[in-house]
Amino acid sequence: MSCITYLSESNFESSILGKKAVLVVFYEDWCGHCRQFAPVLEQLAGEVAGDILVAEVNVDQNMALAAKFGVKSVPYCFILKDGNVVEEFGGTKDKAELKQKLKSV
Instruction: Give residues with Cβ within 8 angstroms of 51, minimum separation 6.
Output: 20, 21
- Pairing label, strands 53-58, 5-7: parallel
5 — phi, psi (to 5°)? Answer: -95, 135
> Residues 3, 9, 15, 31: which is the catalytic one?
31
Catalytic residue from among 21, 22, 23, 34:
34
31 belongs to the catalytic site: yes
Total Cβ atoms within 10 A of residue 86: 13
* C-alpha to C-alpha distance for 37 and 17, rounded to whole angstroms: 26
Has 77 been annotated as catalytic?
Answer: no
Active site residues: 31, 34
